[in-house]
């Protein structure tokens, strides 16, 4: 009985982290659109600063989100 409870908790936790990884990927897409593309289109803040920040956030978020989804997705 104890093993089933631990398995259920682990399964729910894994599903949570898979969904969290998907959320991170969605936020990454939005940050790319707002920071990188916004820099190219508008140009209010120094473009180099926004462009570098956007690329870093996009890269880190994409790697983190894909890692979470790959590791924890149910098979």
| Burial of 18 from C-beta contacts in 10 A (0-12 / 13-18 / 19+) | middle
Q: Is the dihedral of CA 52, 53, 59, 60 positive or negative?
A: positive
14-58: pLDDT as tens digits: 788 888 888 888 888 887 777 777 767 776 677 777 778 878 888
- Residue spans of the domains in the chain: they are 2-72
Task: Provide the pLDDT for residue 24.
Answer: 84
Q: Which residue has the tokens 């803040």?
A: 45
Task: Provide the pLDDT for residue 43.
Answer: 64
Pairwise CA distance, residues 64 & 31, whole Å: 14
Task: Provide the pLDDT for residue 52.
Answer: 84
Question: Residue 4 pLDDT more than 60?
Answer: no
Q: What is the DSSP letter of 5?
A: H
């Amino acid at each position: 009985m104890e093993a089933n409870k631990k398995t259920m908790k682990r399964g729910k936790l894994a599903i949570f982290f898979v969904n969290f990884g998907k959320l991170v990927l969605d936020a990454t897409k939005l940050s790319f659109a707002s920071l990188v593309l916004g820099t190219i289109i508008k140009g209010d803040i120094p473009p180099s600063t926004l462009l570098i920040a956007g690329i870093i956030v996009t890269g880190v978020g994409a790697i983190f989100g894909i890692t979470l989804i790959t590791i924890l997705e149910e098979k």
